[in-house]
Amino acid sequence: MLEAAWKARDHAHAPYSRFQVGAALLTTTGAVFGGCNVENAAYPVCLCAERGALSAAVAAGLQPGGLVAAVVVTDVAELTPPCGACRQALIEFAGELPVLLANRHARQLHRLENLLPHSFTGGHFR
């Protein structure tokens, strides 16, 4: 998964921030989906790496409960967790998801439910 995340990061389109992010998601079928951030001059249109990977997985048939693990990689010194929007998007598909944050020098494992406590999910509609 790390290799897939780094490979995706290498394709990031970040001409404004120069902040390249790669992500990889592992599904219950064993498939790995990568994603990279894609910036736009109109910043609200930007796409994060995690949601890019999630979109690819959903397009391939991912259903809620189908994620096994996530990896997020950057080249910056401080490990970078997913933004709030990405945390919310991921929790729809696996609340107890292990999320590995990595750069060239360190790795840190978290659980998605700890990164997004008191999350809002589809269960609130029942």
Q: Which domains does the chain carry?
A: 2-125 (3.40.140.10)
Of residues 39, 50, 78, 96, which has the active-site annotation? 50
Active site residue 50: yes
pLDDT given at position 30: 98
Q: Distance between CA atoms of 121 and 119, rounded to whole angstroms?
A: 6
pLDDT of residue 90: 97
Q: With left for phi above 0 and alpha for psi between -120 and 50, is residue 79 left, alpha or beta?
A: beta
Which helix H or strand E contains 25, and what residues bound it? Answer: strand 21-27
Residues of the chain with pLDDT under 50: none
Angle at which helices 49-59 and 84-91 cross, to 10°:
20
Q: What is the pTM of this model?
A: 0.94
Instruction: Write out pLDDT tens, residues 48-70.
Output: 999 999 999 999 999 999 999 99
- Residue 120: per-residue pLDDT: 87
Q: What is the pLDDT of residue 70?
A: 99
